[in-house]
Amino acid sequence: MAKVYATGKRKTAIAKVWVSAPGKGTITVNGVDFEAWLGGHETIKKRVRQPLALTKQEASFDIVASTQGGGYSAQADAVRHGISKALAAMDADFRAILKPYGLLTRDSRIVERKKYGRKKARRSPQFSKR
């Protein structure tokens, strides 16, 4: 039985992902079933399952993930990144499939810091002519 660990990141969210084979295709996040964790967000669920769908391994692996930081969308993308990295570590053929879709690349976009004299990072206070 093979068990591979990978870390996925997105914004300020971090996901620790363990992919074990062989499995039944169950995904558990923070001790909760994947369907219950994301509720009715079908597009986000599809995004998380994308690496498994591309490699045609939906029912081959059991996935256990632990997330922290960020919101549910960033956490879901961090889990996707972690799954992709774990699959690539398991089999070099999976890396060739996942790389063109950009699933192995960490999305480095983070929130820009707020500057003094500004309302937000770039938003200026309203200008008054009189």
What CATH number does residue 97 fall under? 3.30.230.10
What is the three-class DSSP state of 63? strand
pLDDT at residue 1 tops 70: no
Task: List, in sequence order, every residue forming a beta bridge with 29; answer none if it has no partner.
Answer: 32, 65
Q: Which domain holds residue 41?
A: 2-101
Structurally, the chain folds into a number of domains equal to: 1
Query: How many other C-beta atoms lie within 10 A of the C-beta of residue 45?
Result: 17
Residues 6+ apart with CB under 8 A from 29: 37, 65, 66, 67, 75, 79
How sure is the predictor about 68, in pLDDT bands with cuts at 50, 70 and 90?
Answer: very high
pLDDT at residue 94 tops 80: yes
DSSP state letter for 87: H
Query: Is there a domain that residue 80 lies in?
Result: yes
Query: Is there a domain that residue 39 lies in?
Result: yes
